[in-house]
Amino acid sequence: MALKIFITGASSGIGQALAKHYAEAYQDKGGAIIGLAARRQDALKSLQTSLSTTANTVIYPLDVRDASALAQAAQDFIQRFGAPDIVIANAGVSAGTLTEDKTDLAIFKGVIDINLIGMVHTFQPFIKAMKQTGKGSLVGIASVAGIRGLPGAGAYSASKAAAIAYLESLRVELAPSGLHVTTIAPGYIRTPMTDINTYPMPFLMAPELAAKKFARAIEK
């Protein structure tokens, strides 16, 4: 039976690497059905084309801040394929912020809306159907920045700390239903988001290697 996965932030970086990993890893294990969600439709179409020989994919151009768009995507995915086995809330942004700078207030809100509230929007419409199957995994991509705040990255650090606490709460909340909640808190991964950084990034990891490590953690 094919593995059913839904991934946000799938158009590049970690999300793209995860989609490619699962498509390849399950090619000879019944295949993979992958829902790919992100804002950039052109990039989603390109990824879909690249995966056409290894997985059954469907794309959902959307913004995770839009709860109704995610609800519609979830409904479509479930109607077509059934409840997913894995939902990965990966969509995230980073931006330098300074609390003293009034113009950064809107940036704080935007980062938290995407990195935290977007995660809630991603999980919410899938939980009922997954509960009915009594199995499945909800996966949130957090960061080590959520454990130790970084100067000049207050919004990002706070959003990831909140994500870690939210996922911890959700894990206990859903345990009786048979659903698993996995928190992934990586360090620096080589993605378009980190490519703009001009400072040293210790232990920088290739996204392909990160995807393998993440998948192993999810499976465990």
Q: Please report, as a single letter, which amino acid is at residue 185.
A: A
Phi, psi of 199 (to 5 degrees): -100, 165
With a CB cutoff of 8 Å and minimum separation 6, the contacts of 179 are 127, 130, 131, 135, 136, 137, 138
What is the Cα–Cα distance from 88 to 142, expressed in whole angstroms? 11
Catalytic pick among 156, 166, 188, 199: 156
Look at the chain and count its residues.
Answer: 220
* Strand intervals (E) in the chain: 3-8, 32-38, 56-61, 86-89, 137-141, 180-184
Pairing of strands 3-8, 137-141: unpaired
Active site residue 156: yes
What residues are annotated to the active site?
156
